[in-house]
Structure 1
Amino acid sequence: MCVTRPSLRTARRSRKISTNQQDHGPPDYWSKLAHSNFRSTVFENRVHVWVLPLSLSQSKYGGRKHPSSACTLITVQIAHDFITQGIRMPSTTPRESQNLPLAVLDVLINGIVDGNETHEKAMAARRNGFNGILKKKHLDEMPVVECGSMFQFLKKTQRDTFTVPEAIQVQRPEMHEVDYRCYSGDFISNLVTAMTMAVTSPYLCKVDRLPIGVLAFERAMCFIYDRPTHSILLLDTHMHFKGRAGSVLCVASFEDITDFIVAVTKLVFHEVCKSADYSGQFEITCLMLTSLMNKVHKGNIFLPVKPTMMRTPSARPLRPIRIKAKKMVCVGHEPEDEDSGYESAS
């Protein structure tokens, strides 16, 4: 696999772009993107959802031709940027459609660019025989490889995914996991309960912003809880709707956490909806900057859940989202042959 050099199409998104409409200079790629209006769809349960174009996904951004397996790295990068840059959360109060804030779009694009770049360098190191735990300093010292050997196909296939601890070491070593746990059973009820554990934990009550990573069905994505606004945001950079759409973002007040998780499950974890009892397994992790270690307690955030707990149904029906592409796709009623959305090349 070749390690691509930075270019206009694969560079990090700059927030210093002029958005002055009186500027009559020739619009470049970034200014066109900055002026794009991505409007949310508002469900009856007050969950705002943005479904972005296919080009704004980890496997297609920048003209990428091959699937990306960098979702864990992207999750860590997005978590870092939301903590360190003070990104303003989208509003949860208006009932009408709203634009996706440009700062949130910046974080999503930068996470895709940085995560994919790190993934390519890390995979090159693995193919070159690097053993042990990869760290960011190892990749920084690596020379840029223009292309692989013509005998690359003879080498043993390398694992192309990363656990959260591995992703932290290679992407953002200044971060750490506060706690981690795997849950099985009633997917929606368990995810609502686990999210609530993190938000209401006495060990995290002084922290204004909590990045939470969720890994399920071979996909990782980042949730951001913002305490001042008591809102929760999902950023999922995978392709969706059988490759017809790109990243999906959802935001809601944490008061509507059950409705929010129901919407997220139907949008990005449709495998759960195919089971009769809405069962499934997921891993959840709470991430934090190590510099904030004195404000948090490591461990004992996610507690065991009683297997007898029943899923709380949503109080309001979820309106389907329709994506107009080759044909209409109704999220609320997926076809039986819907793919999993996993974007690994393996």
Structure 2
Amino acid sequence: MCVSRPGLSTTRRSRHEITYTTQNEESAENWYKMANSNFRSAVFENRVHVWALPLSYSQSKYGGRKTPSSACTIITVQIAHDFLSKNVCIPPTHPLTPQHLPLGVLDVLINGIVDGNETHEKAMAARRRGFSGSLKKKHLEETGESGSVFQFLKKPHRDTFTVPEAIQVQRPEMHEIDYPCYSGDFISNLVTAMSMAVNSPYLSKLDRLAIGVLAFERAMCFIYDRPTNSIILLDTHMHFKGQAGSVLCVASFEDITDFIVSVTKLVFHEVFKTADVTGQFEITCLMLTSLMNKVHRGDIFLPVKSSMPRVIPVKPLRPFRIKTRKMICVGSAEKDSDSGYESDTL
């Protein structure tokens, strides 16, 4: 079932479903690549672009949803699939001035939320029917008898999914290359792990890497683009104590330390509740199975030495205000127009 976008009369948009009125397909494709939403970024002093979308653009609120969503791992897999299989352009890291979020990126995020939540609901229905074993996508369409009247007496079903489970129910055409878990200095370890994937000789033939990070019971997707040497985060949870929705960050990989510091402060704030900035996370590298012939077999992520120097954030991120907005306008907005992110008030 497609969920209507708040404020619009159409259902969710897919790149393959858009009807263009231009004269040829090539110009239509070029138009789409250049089209922007009217959400503008803020540029922190550490050269990281950040978009904080309105609350309605989160996995627990999109489409008028009233209950919290636990589909973040499934959504992460879907977003990874779309960035790997479609020619979705990552926002440029320069110039260091507020810029509009490309429409293609926004579509991937919205479609990931819609598809992920829909799959999660079907998978939970299968679990409630008593399905045992490895749940796969083909099982989601099966129907069964309703549960017993004493169903409420049974132990609640687990509503979360591991990465392998999410792949099986959402995108079985994907493959998990490597997936370690790190604990200790959160920022240093995450910087090191990201660098391991990007610089790994086993992945050098791949132009784009999809990396999932799971920490503090949340999963989110990072995409590294080798031709532009840039990295983007897409986190579909609510943020800032329920005042904002999804958060996206993009930066040059040359600024990976500053990027991870910003990401940690924005979406992994629990780390800074510890005296020594420590935490645990799982990191996974995802790939389309059809491209596995370009991947050399070997360990991507290696053990991290505990004696590595800690990365200490030098400057705090400047506070910013969130202003909600429902409508998305196709095309570039004027510089002084309103947006879902009040970037010009930093």
TM-score by length of 2: 0.83
Which residue is 1:131 aligned to?
Answer: 132
Aligned-residue offset at 1:19: 8.6
1:236 pairs with 2:235? yes
Of residues 238-247 and 7-16 in structure 1, the stretch that sits farther from structure 2 once superposed is: 7-16
Q: The residue matched to 1:285 in structure 2 has which SS?
A: strand
Matched residue type, 1:39: R
**Dislocated runs of 4+, deviation >6 Å:** 147-150
Q: The residue matched to 1:244 in structure 2 has which SS?
A: coil
- Describe the shift of the 1:151–1:64 C-alpha distance in structure 2 as closer, same or farther (beyond 3 A): farther
Matched residue type, 1:6: C
- Describe the shift of the 1:7–1:104 C-alpha distance in structure 2 as closer, same or farther (beyond 3 A): closer
Matched residue type, 2:291: L
- Describe the shift of the 1:134–1:81 C-alpha distance in structure 2 as closer, same or farther (beyond 3 A): same
1:63 pairs with 2:64? yes
**C-alpha contact 2:36 2:101 (8 A) present in aligned 1:** no
Matches within 5 A, 1:266-281: 266-281=265-280
Please, which runs of 5 or more residues in structure 1 have no aligned partner? 21-33, 326-346
Q: The residue matched to 1:263 in structure 2 has which SS?
A: helix
Aligned-residue offset at 1:14: 2.9
Distance 1:62 1:149 in 2: 31
Distance 1:18 1:321 in 2: 37
TM-score by length of 1: 0.83
Aligned-residue offset at 1:13: 2.1
Distance 1:197 1:83 in 2: 19
Of residues 81-90 and 312-321 in structure 1, the stretch that sits farther from structure 2 once superposed is: 312-321
> What is the CA deviation profile of residues 221-254 of structure 1, one whole-angstrom value per residue up to 9, with x for unaligned ones?
0000000000000000000111111000000000
**C-alpha contact 1:78 1:108 (8 A) present in aligned 2:** yes
Matches within 5 A, 1:160-309: 160-309=159-308
Matches within 5 A, 1:75-90: 75-90=76-91
Please, which runs of 5 or more residues in structure 2 have no aligned partner? 22-34, 325-346
Distance 2:200 2:309 in 1: 22
**C-alpha contact 1:69 1:161 (8 A) present in aligned 2:** yes
Which residue is 1:319 aligned to?
Answer: 318
**C-alpha contact 2:128 2:147 (8 A) present in aligned 1:** no
Quote the RMSD (CA, aligned, Å).
2.2
Matched residue type, 1:142: E
Aligned-residue offset at 1:317: 5.1
**C-alpha contact 2:37 2:106 (8 A) present in aligned 1:** no
**C-alpha contact 1:19 1:35 (8 A) present in aligned 2:** no
Of residues 309-318 and 154-163 in structure 1, the stretch that sits farther from structure 2 once superposed is: 309-318
Distance 1:102 1:168 in 2: 26
Identity %: 78
Matched residue pairs, number? 306
Question: Which structure carries more relative contact order (alpha carbon 8 Å, separation 6+)?
Answer: 2
> What is the CA deviation profile of residues 14-37 of structure 1, one whole-angstrom value per residue up to 9, with x for unaligned ones?
3455798xxxxxxxxxxxxx9851
Which residue is 2:73 aligned to?
Answer: 72
